[in-house]
C-alpha cells in the first residue's frame, strides 16, 4: 500500500471517530426509547425528568424518523418531550401506504388518522399532559396543519418546507413556516399563507391577526429541501416558536448534526479507498472494448429499453414504480450483455473475496451509519422480498455497467457516457408515460447517490481486483437494497 493510501486511511479513520463522537454527544444524556403505537414505530426523546410539553414530529414523503432527528434532539434538550414516528409505508413501518394520493379523502385522511393515533398514545402517558405541538416536513406539513385545525389539543404548528391549501386567516392559530432559501416555490407559498393574516407581512416577520392568530414565515439560508432539516436557523426558529407558545425560555445548545453526518458518511466513503488496497491485486486487467463495441453496449440499451417497455404495465411489487424499475434494469442489462457477447467480448473471471468485501463494507459500514443518523436503511421483514425481486434486474444491469466501465478502469469519458446514457434512458421512459412513471423522477436522486457513493467504492475495488464480475454483482445487490428500502410501500390501487 502506498504512503498516500496509508495517510488517507489514518485521516479517514480519525474523521470517522470525530464525527461519531460528536453525533453520539448530541444524543448523550437523553432518554431515547421506543414508543408503541399500534403497528406504528415511534421514538420518544427527552431529558430524564423533563416535564415540558410534547412535540410530535412527522417526516415527509420517502423520509423516516432518522431524517427528523435534529429537531427531535434539539427540542428534547430544550426540555420538551419529542416523539417522532414512521408514517405508513415509510421507514420501519410494515403497513403499506393506502388510499388515493391525489385526493384529500384518500391517503391524506389515512395519514391524519395515524397522526391522531400517535397523539392519543402520547397524551395517554401519565407523565405527559396536553396540549401538544406538531412539527412536519414537506408532505407532513399539510398533515400537521390539517390536524391542528381539527384537533383542539394542538397548540402550535411548525411546518418545514410547507405546501398546504388548508390554512385560512383564522386557522391554524399558531403557525411557523420554515423554508430553505433554495426552495423558491415553497417560499412563495409560505409568504402567501403569512399574508392571509397580514397582507403587508414579509419573510422574517411575525404577523398577528384576529382571535390571537400568530403566523411567521422564516427562511433558512443556503439550504434546500433536505438541508433545511439540519439548518441551525430552522432548529432555532422552531424552538423559539414553541417557547413563545408555551411560555418557556430554552438555552440548551442546538443539535445541528447535519455537518457531522456529512463528515461521517464522507469519511466512511473515503476510508474505502485505502481499505480496497488491502485486497489481492489483480494480475490482469479487464478487457477494453473498442469504441464501437462500447457505444453499442451503452447506447443501444439506453434507447431500446424504454421503447420496448412503454406498452407494458406491471404492478406486482408494493413499492411505487419498483416494478417498472426492475424491468428497466433487467432489460437494459440484458441488452448490454447481449451486445457484449455479440461483439465477441469476454466476461472475465469471478473473484469472490473483493465482491464480498465490497458488499459487507457498503451495507455494513456505510449502510449502518446512514441508518442510525440520517435515513432508514435497514429493511423490516416485509421489504426483504422486494430487495430480492429488484435484484433480478439490478444484478445484470450492474454487471453490464462494470463491464463497459472496465470495473472503474475505463477512461473518464466512457464512465460519464455510461452514466448519462442510463439517466437519459430513464428520462425517456418518463417522457413516454409521464402520468404512470412520474414517481420515477423522485427516485433518481437515490440512484445518483448510489453511483456517487457505492459506485466509487466499486471502482476502487474493481481497479484493485481487475475482474468486473465481482464488483458488478456486489453493486447489483447494493442497488437492489437501496431501492428496496428507500421508497414507500404502497397498497394495491394507490394512485
Mean pLDDT for 128-152 is 96
Helix or strand or coil: residue 311?
coil
User: What average pLDDT is seen over the chain?
Assistant: 93
Highest mean pLDDT among 220-229, 427-436, 457-466: 220-229
In the structure, what pLDDT confidence band is assigned to residue 141 with cuts at 50, 70 and 90? Answer: very high
Of residues 188, 473, 495, 142, the one with CA closest to residue 333: 473
Alpha carbon distance 32, 41 (integer Å): 13
The three grid cell numbers given for residue 150, joined into one nine-digit string? 381539527
pLDDT for 224 equals 96
In the structure, what pLDDT confidence band is assigned to residue 122 with cuts at 50, 70 and 90? Answer: very high
8 A C-beta contact, residue 358 and residue 460: no
Mean pLDDT for 216-235 is 97
8 A C-beta contact, residue 298 and residue 46: no
Alpha carbon distance 338, 456 (integer Å): 26
- Rg of the chain (C-alpha set): 24
Element (H, E) at 463: helix 434-465
Q: Which domains are present in the chain?
A: 3-259 (3.40.50.1820), 284-486 (no CATH)
Cα-based distances in Å from 174 to 131, 195, 210, 211, 214: 13, 14, 12, 11, 5
> DSSP character for 489?
B
The three grid cell numbers given for residue 102, joined into one nine-digit string? 391525489
List pLDDT tens digits, range 144-188: 999 999 999 999 999 999 999 999 999 999 999 999 999 999 999
In the structure, what pLDDT confidence band is assigned to residue 424 with cuts at 50, 70 and 90? Answer: very high
Of residues 123, 133, 158, the one with CA closest to residue 246: 133
Q: Is the pTM of this model over 0.95?
A: no
Mean pLDDT for 354-367 is 95
List pLDDT tens digits, range 103-116: 777 789 999 999 99
Residue 284 has pLDDT above 70, yes or no: no
Provide the phi-psi class of 398: left if phi over 0, else alpha when psi is between -120 and 50, else beta: alpha
List pLDDT tens digits, range 372-413: 999 999 988 889 989 999 999 999 999 999 999 998 889 999
In the structure, what pLDDT confidence band is assigned to residue 262 with cuts at 50, 70 and 90? Answer: very high
Element (H, E) at 179: strand 174-180
What is the side-by-side strand order in the sheet with 206-208? 31-37, 40-46, 81-85, 54-58, 132-137, 154-160, 174-180, 214-220, 206-208
More confident position, 436 or 279? 279
Cα dihedral across residues 279, 285, 291, 295: positive or negative: negative
Mean pLDDT for 57-65 is 95
pLDDT for 12 equals 97
Amino acid at each position: 500500500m502506498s504512503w498516500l493510501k496509508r495517510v488517507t486511511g489514518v485521516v479517514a479513520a480519525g474523521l470517522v471517530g470525530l464525527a461519531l463522537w460528536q453525533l453520539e454527544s448530541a444524543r448523550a444524556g437523553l432518554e431515547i426509547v421506543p414508543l408503541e403505537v399500534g403497528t406504528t414505530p415511534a421514538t420518544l426523546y427527552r431529558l430524564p425528568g423533563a416535564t415540558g410539553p410534547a412535540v410530535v414530529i412527522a417526516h415527509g414523503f420517502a423520509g423516516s424518523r432518522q431524517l427528523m432527528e435534529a429537531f427531535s434532539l434539539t427540542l428534547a434538550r430544550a426540555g420538551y418531550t419529542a416523539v417522532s414516528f414512521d408514517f405508513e409505508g415509510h421507514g420501519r413501518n410494515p403497513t403499506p401506504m393506502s388510499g388515493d394520493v391525489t385526493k384529500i379523502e384518500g391517503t391524506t385522511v389515512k395519514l391524519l388518522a395515524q397522526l391522531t393515533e400517535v397523539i392519543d398514545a402520547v397524551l395517554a402517558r401519565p407523565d405527559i399532559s396536553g396540549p401538544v405541538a406538531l412539527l412536519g416536513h414537506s408532505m407532513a406539513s399539510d398533515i400537521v396543519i390539517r390536524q391542528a385545525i381539527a384537533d383542539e389539543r394542538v397548540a402550535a404548528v411548525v411546518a418545514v418546507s410547507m405546501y398546504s391549501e388548508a390554512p385560512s386567516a383564522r386557522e391554524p392559530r399558531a403557525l411557523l413556516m420554515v423554508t430553505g432559501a433554495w426552495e423558491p416555490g415553497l417560499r412563495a407559498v409560505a409568504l402567501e399563507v403569512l399574508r392571509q393574516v397580514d397582507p403587508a407581512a414579509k419573510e422574517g416577520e411575525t404577523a398577528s391577526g384576529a382571535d390571537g392568530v400568530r403566523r411567521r414565515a422564516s427562511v433558512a439560508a443556503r439550504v434546500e429541501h433536505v438541508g433545511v432539516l439540519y439548518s441551525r436557523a430552522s432548529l432555532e426558529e422552531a424552538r423559539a416558536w414553541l417557547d413563545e407558545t408555551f411560555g418557556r425560555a430554552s438555552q440548551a445548545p442546538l443539535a445541528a448534526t447535519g455537518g457531522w453526518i456529512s463528515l461521517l458518511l464522507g469519511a466512511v466513503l473515503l476510508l474505502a479507498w485505502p481499505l480496497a488496497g488491502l485486497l489481492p491485486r489483480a494480475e490482469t486487467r479487464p478487457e477494453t472494448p473498442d469504441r464501437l463495441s462500447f457505444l453499442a453496449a451503452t447506447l443501444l440499451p439506453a434507447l431500446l429499453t424504454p421503447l420496448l417497455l412503454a406498452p407494458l404495465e406491471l404492478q406486482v411489487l408494493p413499492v411505487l414504480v419498483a416494478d417498472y424499475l426492475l424491468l428497466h434494469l433487467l432489460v437494459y442489462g440484458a441488452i448490454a450483455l447481449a451486445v457484449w457477447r455479440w461483439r465477441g467480448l469476454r466476461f472475465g473471471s469471478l473473484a469472490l473475496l473483493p465482491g464480498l468485501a465490497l458488499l459487507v463494507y457498503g451495507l455494513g459500514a456505510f449502510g449502518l451509519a446512514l441508518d442510525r443518523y440520517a435515513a432508514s436503511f435497514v429493511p423490516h421483514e416485509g421489504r426483504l422480498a422486494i430487495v430480492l425481486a429488484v435484484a433480478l434486474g439490478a444484478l445484470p444491469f450492474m454487471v453490464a455497467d462494470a463491464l463497459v466501465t472496465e470495473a472503474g478502469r475505463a477512461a473518464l469519458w466512457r464512465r460519464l457516457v455510461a452514466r448519462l446514457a442510463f439517466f437519459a434512458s430513464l428520462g425517456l421512459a418518463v417522457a413516454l408515460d409521464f402520468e404512470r412513471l412520474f414517481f420515477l423522477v423522485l427516485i433518481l436522486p437515490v440512484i445518483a447517490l448510489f453511483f456517487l457513493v457505492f459506485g466509487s467504492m466499486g471502482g476502487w475495488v474493481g481497479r484493485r481486483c481487475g475482474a468486473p464480475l465481482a464488483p458488478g454483482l456486489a453493486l447489483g445487490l447494493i442497488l437492489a437494497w437501496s431501492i428496496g428500502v428507500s421508497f414507500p410501500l404502497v397498497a394495491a390501487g394507490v394512485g
